[in-house]
Structure 1
Amino acid sequence: MHFLPSDLIVDGVRIAYRDRGEGEPVVFIHGTPSHSYEWRNVVPHIEATGHRSLTYDLLGYGRSERPVDRDTSVAAQTDLLGSLLDALGIEQAAVVAHDIGGAIGQRFAIAHPERVRRLMIIDTVSYDSWPSETWQNIIDERLEDHMRLPQETFDALLTRQLEMTVSDGAATMTGDVLEAYLAPHRSALGRVSFFEHQVRHYDSRYTEEITGQLTCLTMPVRVLWGERDQWQSLSYAQRLAEDIPRARLTVIPGAGHFVMEDAPERVTEEILDFLAEQDRLPQGQQR
């Protein structure tokens, strides 16, 4: 069975999702180049501890629809998150968001603070930290050419990128794990979708334009980061922790950008600690 077993039409598009458990809702937002598979070793443990967990593939990613004429930028994905929560009757939730999902989480929490009880951002894009020089070059000069790459060439390109997301490279990104990350792109449509729905929207303006609003994040915030992240420098984590009021930074030793691959038990522990921690806050700090 797929990790995301259900589908829902939201604002006219199909979203693949998983909604399980009881209790306080927790929404998991994945990053790129990825889909909700990255949460497979974390979410079931959160579900088992008395939380309702909502995990979904962003529009244009994974098992969700890949529309021909639909904006899949960070801004559009932020709006769609609100519509998804409405459709599932979730008024307020904790948000746990990784990479580009972290930009969505930041923007949603700023725009709708009443809907985000707490926010954890994990190895997130922020400020001017993205895209990398490699991706920017592709966006500026070779995007259309890359959409026409043969499968073998595309797989080699994405495999090289995925190996950079974990601390031990090809030792983790191999076999069934690598295949699961490549699977959504095992067709001409999948390869085009990767560049059209993901890479085209690697744009730091979506985070740079909210820099001055990070001080508005007054809900509890935790910043979780892999010590050996090759894509998002630890300096950005430190800057986020300084700019967001009372935010706490936790660094996972030896972990890379996909901390859920390198240290799933530690990530699960940190999420559970964060979810429980707020219940111990003094009354004056409760939202």
Structure 2
Amino acid sequence: MKTTSPGQSTAPAYISPDLAARTTAATVEVDGATVAYWTCAPLHATPDTRTILVIHGFRGDHHGLLRVADQLPDMRLVMPDLPGFGSSGAFRSGAHSVERYGRFIADFMAALGLGPDTVLLGHSFGSIIAAHFVAANPDAVSPLILINPIAAPALEGPKGIMTRLAVLYYRLGARLPRPLGLALLRSPLIVRVMSEAMAKTKDSSLRNFIHGQHHAYFSAFANRDSLLEAFTASVSSHVAEVAGSLNLPVLLVAGEKDEIAMLPDQHRLAALLPDGQLTVIPGVGHLIHYETPEPAARSIRSFLEDHPA
């Protein structure tokens, strides 16, 4: 394991200098992949300090959850870039599937010595990975927090047509000659369209920050094949299919205006959980981690106070 300096600089208006001061970066070998991860230390560690393992969403990396981490200075957050994304290498063999990412969580926790009192948090695609991991490993973590959880099949319902178009986009990007495929997948115009579609805030400065984050980090994937595999995994599974097996406290943090993980599906998912709690943040969509980190963090803190280690 190699410890390095904290990660790239971020906009000071939206992420405090204090976070950078308490953040360290390191790498570890997991299942044949060099995994980069960041640890945000608590300002004042105690025996009761909670450790949260954070699993980011599709095409994202640890940067996306930094604003939430900034609002939880009393906790320790461990944030890896998933294999195939950000600064982490792809798996050397095998598909980048939900099951494989679940094995990654188990191996990563073992490598860092993270025990069953670890809190697991997943955002978007990370919610699918986290939920399936917990269903297969019921005593590995506790509790579970899902932000913008993917609560229903992506290929069904009103968003099914757009999902099928996205499938064609990623398949085309993987099959075109490499320069053309990468140009398509990393197109600044397409990334901007995706960013505009997801952002709901009317604050122009915050919108510019979000677009800048997506422009800087949304195209940091290892290769086209791993990206297609991960996308296929993201639209082939969902949290509800394992909800009945999640026999631990689960917090769902949903956006009122989320067009990817829609609110009616969140209510149905909450009803399927043996011990679930749903928090709905008004006025925000699929970018809770960027647009409304403060209420998300308040909900997380309250939930963990109700479910101590």
Indicate which of 128, 146, 169 corresponds to 1:103. Answer: 128
Q: 1:283 maps to what in 2? A: none
Q: 2:108 maps to what in 1? A: 84
1:166 shift after superposition: 1.7
2:83 paired with 1:59: yes
Aligned partner letter, 1:214: A
Deviations 1:115-168 (A, max 9, x none): 121111111223312572331232455642396246487111111112222213
In terms of mean alpha carbon deviation, does 22-31 or 73-82 score higher? Answer: 22-31
Local SS of the residue matching 1:248: strand
Change (3 A) 1:139 1:170: farther
TM-score in terms of structure 1 length: 0.84
Change (3 A) 1:83 1:261: same
1:201 shift after superposition: 2.8
Q: 2:97 maps to what in 1? A: 73
Contact 1:61 1:184 in 2 (8 A): no
Question: Equivalent residues in 2 for 1:33-44 (5 A)?
Answer: 33-44=59-70
2:280 paired with 1:251: yes
Task: Provide the rounded CA distance (Å) in 2 between the counterparts of 1:28 and 1:191.
Answer: 18
Task: Provide the rounded CA distance (Å) in 1 between the counterparts of 2:183 and 2:231.
Answer: 22
Gaps of 5+ in 2: 1-5, 9-23
Q: 1:162 maps to what in 2? A: 195
Contact 2:210 2:290 in 1 (8 A): no
In terms of mean alpha carbon deviation, does 154-163 or 62-71 score higher? Answer: 62-71
2:121 paired with 1:126: no
Change (3 A) 1:67 1:90: closer
1:177 shift after superposition: 4.1
2:135 paired with 1:115: no
In terms of mean alpha carbon deviation, does 161-170 or 53-62 score higher? Answer: 161-170
In terms of mean alpha carbon deviation, does 106-115 or 6-15 score higher? Answer: 6-15
Indicate which of 257, 260, 274 corresponds to 2:289. Answer: 260
User: How big is the alpha-carbon RMSD for the aligned residues of Structure 1 and Structure 2?
Assistant: 2.7
Contact 1:33 1:162 in 2 (8 A): no
Identity %: 20
TM-score in terms of structure 2 length: 0.78
Aligned partner letter, 2:34: R
1:170 shift after superposition: 9.3
Question: Equivalent residues in 2 for 1:1-287 (5 A)?
Answer: 1-2=6-7, 5-19=25-39, 20-21=41-42, 22=45, 23-46=49-72, 48-49=73-74, 51-67=75-91, 69-92=93-116, 93-129=118-154, 132-139=163-170, 143-145=174-176, 148-149=180-181, 151=183, 154-168=187-201, 171=204, 172-174=206-208, 177-184=210-217, 190=220, 193=223, 195-203=224-232, 204-207=235-238, 211=241, 213-279=242-308
Gaps of 5+ in 1: 280-286
1:180 shift after superposition: 3.2
Contact 2:123 2:149 in 1 (8 A): yes
Task: Provide the rounded CA distance (Å) in 2 between the counterparts of 1:226 and 1:57.
Answer: 24
Aligned partner letter, 2:287: F
Local SS of the residue matching 1:114: coil
Task: Provide the rounded CA distance (Å) in 1 between the counterparts of 2:293 and 2:129.
Answer: 22
